[in-house]
Structure 1
Amino acid sequence: MKKSYLLLLLSVFALMYSCKKDEKEIAPDVNLAIKTDALEAKVNVKTTFSAGTNNGLPFKHLWKLDGAVVSEVYNFDFTPLKAGTYIIEYTASNTAGTFTHKYTVTVPVPVIGVTPASTKFISTIFEYLPAPGQFINEALGSVAGAQKIIGDVSKTSLISLGGFGGYIVFGFDHSVVNNSGNDLAIYGNPIGGSTAWAEPGIVMVSQDVNGNGKPDDEWYELAGSEYNNPLTIKNYEITYVNPKGFANVTWTDNQGGSGTYDVNNFHKHNFYPEFAPDQEKLTLRGTLLPSTFGKVGSIFVNAAFNWGYTDSWSIGDDYATNKYNGFDISWAVDKTGKKVELKTIDFVKVYTAQREKGNTLMGEISTEVKGAQDLGIK
């Protein structure tokens, strides 16, 4: 009797052990809060991913964002800091097996839509940093002067960007849409005809990828007619030295060159921007277009390029009719020259694209900007 009872107890214990063993060997039975494979999120907005158990049995959690471990608990709060495509991988594991799920999360570039109150003209100047030039530190080359190109382009305000690399960054009160044909109009003061006077500026655009309202994301050049000209120099860099008075401004570049921007008797002041953050030297970068400075008879001229540059009486974009230079966002290329597809842009940068000091009669070639317009708003 005792022997039978003992055998019965042993059988019960064996059965209980067997059941517990079977329970441990069950692979994770996971209940995901988000069950889809692909979803869309927003910049700076939290999306919570989480995983639970369907049968009450525990397991380990592992979350990866683009291959890097970001959480080892049941949930992961994803707040993208900029637009892009992200891969989130979840793994549940125990001694019996694993469960995996991969999410593809698309985060579009934030877009500020047009409203009935929107204006087609510049609404904000984000930055103005000219290179040395004859108008710099005068009304035409001042921080206050830069603010005057905000709004309707019918007014007479102009801002000078000085020599090569001097720039201005501006934006609208909405995102500019990449429509068919030209999307932007930028106004300057070029002269056409046989005695042309162009001061070509390159235009760059950027999207507010991180959604912070600041032009601190990647810039793209709108490649004009001279982008592939063998005389055009990409990744050009020039450094100006402050003479700290009425004297020629010396420069050196990353091509082994050096020279001066010369003062003249029409503007007796320091040509170096006295509001630049560094009052010792100023380094500016960009694409350097070849000089077109010369003479027609006794008259000094600076010829325009065919299309794709501002402050240029260009034949290719019919400046004579339009009275502005037109720009298509579809011309955008990245820093390697690869074409990029931008549905919208939020920021525009214009900089002087020739390094030409001219002479003491005419002064240097310095792009001037009168204003800009979103051609998508009539």
Structure 2
Amino acid sequence: MIRILRGLAHKYFSDEEAVILFLLILAGVIFIIFFGSMLAPAIAAVIVAFILQGLVTKLNRLGIPEIVSIIGVFFVFLGLLIGVLFGLLPLIWTQVTGLAGEAPRIFREMQSYLEVLPEQYPTLISMEGINTIYNQVTTEAGRMTQWLVSFSLESIPDLVALLIYMVLLPILVFFFLKDRRVLLGAIARMLPSQRPMMVRIWHEVNLQCANYVRGKAVEILIVGGITYVAFKVLGMPYAALLSLMVGLSVVIPYIGAAVVTIPVAMIALFAFGWGSEFIWVMVVYGVIQALDGNVLVPILFSEVNNLHPVAIIVAVLFFGGIWGLWGVFFAIPLATMLKAIFSAWPVKNGQAEALPKES
């Protein structure tokens, strides 16, 4: 065992820079686990600034001075943030509470649909099973409705904290954009002067993660916006809420689309019944998903090395288990970063032959 460990240490950690990088990654993970919730505004500001920096760079290439580009991009971000806070969120909350109020009628209709199934498929479905499922669903729905009713009173401290975060976030984003070189220079001075591997990893991570995160932000806006317009034209209730869910579902490939299809189909069924309107809603929704996967994603992520579906699912499970919802949201960028680190990691003696790339 000792010989095996010594061999692994020589193969992967014989380079001093590799040891330093490993310790930095380990310290960063431990720091986020214990202090991530406390520093959530700063972490969110770094991510937002990372997204906006690409637009600043493009404006610089057009000949616009950097400080003017930063101020212009910041005010665009500020306008979007104000629009979300005072436009989108109240609308979403109204639709969520409205859906909670209609829950009893929806469940009564669902029960009538379910009661027919044992008659049509007696060998596959029993009435006892239907009743069990129905009772579980109605119990969870009752808990959710009770939470919505008590939310406004019990969550006042959380709302105050959220307001503080909403003030801190734009300030931090502005200074991260404005003083990006100063901050990166301060971090670089704490690292070894000769760091070719770290520089190579930084460029790879910057290319892959920046393209992915910015591409996902654009994809969410496009998919969510098109879904909202389509649902409004079709007369779909709760169009804003559903389009937000569809837009955010693209963050988790495969899993997100499968999960969000259930509420879309259920609300369309209860709104229109088994008819042509329901079919039109599902066809349009299917077309949007198909165009997103086969047209929009290849255009936005042409420069990103796509992860294998198994790697995506494992990343979602792993990071979601560590950091909850935030881990699920950032699972793919984190997995992309790890892939870039493993690709650039120095390996000595007995290095395995590279596998042929998939066509």
Could you tell me the TM-score, scaled by structure 1's length?
0.22
Higher helix share: 2
Larger RCO, structures 1/2 (Cα 8 Å, 6+ apart): 2
Larger radius of gyration: 1
